[in-house]
């Protein structure tokens, strides 16, 4: 089994909001920890707008995400970089993957995959790809335009990495993850490919994000390896959940940062809650991100998820 480990000499972190909707308390908590991790090492912070999920992107959400970060007191040294303006870079990386024999066109729909899949998969993952289109090889005919995506051929390694919060993390790429899309139908880059290309091109040395993306890290490490790129270090922090234990959503009340701004709640109260819930401070009290820089340590962060009820939170923080 192969583990990829990186010891960067200069810290470059990033904030990468996705404008598919409003940013909420869970996003704020993760953004704060990503920002503190970089700033506590005297590092730089980049801002990237991950807007490649075009059918779900809301035009107003880009501006609002930037305003939310500024309101919270989280600054950056470069950006915002817009993913949809970087399609040429993604296309070149795709060509390299195809030439290396690690990408193939796939005409299967989600329903096709669900109907054909028989192997077990991780609870939060889609059914494993059953391999219907894997016989394709470089030189074979490519399907008609817009009828296929490009899918990455997964191998047995790398299958593990060291996470800053969770330590050694292992997955079985073949049995648990399977081949995955790196473009959408029509050719636009998908998330896994875009973030690898962007993080490498922008010199990102550490990625701090929610632990729902733990399994994505193995996928991305495989892309890094084939493309000959150096991967960053990773730190996956617990998600903020609703009282029912499910990912924070509208059913848990309004937790949008824009709502708290409109209600006149001081951003220091949001930061104080995030810091206390993460374990950085012993009690919740208003504080700015800058005041937390010297207190940040990965060893202090809690590993358990946080639960929030939107209506109660709003009432308690008015």
Same domain, 99 and 118: yes
* 229 in any annotated domain: no
Same domain, 186 and 116: yes
Q: pLDDT band for 123, please (50, 70, 90 cuts).
A: low
Same domain, 266 and 181: no
* 111 in any annotated domain: yes
Same domain, 78 and 126: no
Same domain, 94 and 183: yes
Beta bridge partners of 151: 104, 181
Better-scored residue on pLDDT, 74 or 114: 74
- Quick one: pLDDT at residue 115? 82
Q: Assess whether pLDDT exceeds 80 at residue 125.
A: no
Same domain, 179 and 273: no
How many domains in the chain?
Answer: 2
Q: pLDDT band for 5, please (50, 70, 90 cuts).
A: very low
The percent of residues in the chain predicted with pLDDT above 70, rounded, is 94
* 297 in any annotated domain: yes
Same domain, 76 and 115: no
State the chain's mean pLDDT as an integer: 92
Average pLDDT for 76-80: 97
* 2 in any annotated domain: no
Residue at a domain's end among 191, 218, 250: 191
Same domain, 19 and 42: yes
* 168 in any annotated domain: yes
* 155 in any annotated domain: yes
* 222 in any annotated domain: no
Same domain, 100 and 116: yes
Same domain, 109 and 180: yes
24-75 pLDDT per residue, tens:
999 999 999 999 999 999 999 999 999 998 788 998 999 999 999 999 999 9
CATH number of the domain encompassing residue 45: 3.40.50.620
Domain coverage including residue 166:
88-191
């Amino acid at each position: 089994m192969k583990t990829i480990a990186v010891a960067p000499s200069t810290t470059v972190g990033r904030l990468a909001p996705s404008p598919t909707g409003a940013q909420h308390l869970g996003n704020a908590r993760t953004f704060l920890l990503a920002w503190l991790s970089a700033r506590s090492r005297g590092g730089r912070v980049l801002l990237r707008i991950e807007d490649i999920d075009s059918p779900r992107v809301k035009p107003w959400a880009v501006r609002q995400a930037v305003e939310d970060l500024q309101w919270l007191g989280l600054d950056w040294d470069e950006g915002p970089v817009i993913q949809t303006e970087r399609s040429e870079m993604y296309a070149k990386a795709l060509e390299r993957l195809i030439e290396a024999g690690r990408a193939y066109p796939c005409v299967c729909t989600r329903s096709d995959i669900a109907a054909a899949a028989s192997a077990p998969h991780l609870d939060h993952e889609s059914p494993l790809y059953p391999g219907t289109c894997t016989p394709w090889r470089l030189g074979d005919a490519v399907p008609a335009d817009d009828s296929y995506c490009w899918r990455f051929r997964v191998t047995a390694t790398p299958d593990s990495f060291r996470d800053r919060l969770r330590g050694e993390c292992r997955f079985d790429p073949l049995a648990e993850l399977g081949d995955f899309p790196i473009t959408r139908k029509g050719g636009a880059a998908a998330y896994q490919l875009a973030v690898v290309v962007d993080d490498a091109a922008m010199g990102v040395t550490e990625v701090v994000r929610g632990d729902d993306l733990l399994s994505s890290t193995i996928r991305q490490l495989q892309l890094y390896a084939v493309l000959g790129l150096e991967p960053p270090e990773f730190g996956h922090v617990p998600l903020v959940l609703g009282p029912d234990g499910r990912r924070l959503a509208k059913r848990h009340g309004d937790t949008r940062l824009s709502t708290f701004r409109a209600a006149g709640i001081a951003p220091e109260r949001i930061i104080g809650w995030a810091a206390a819930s993460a374990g950085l401070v012993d009690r919740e009290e208003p504080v700015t991100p800058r005041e937390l820089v010297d207190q940040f340590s990965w060893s202090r962060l809690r590993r358990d998820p946080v639960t929030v009820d939107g209506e109660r939170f709003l009432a308690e923080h008015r």
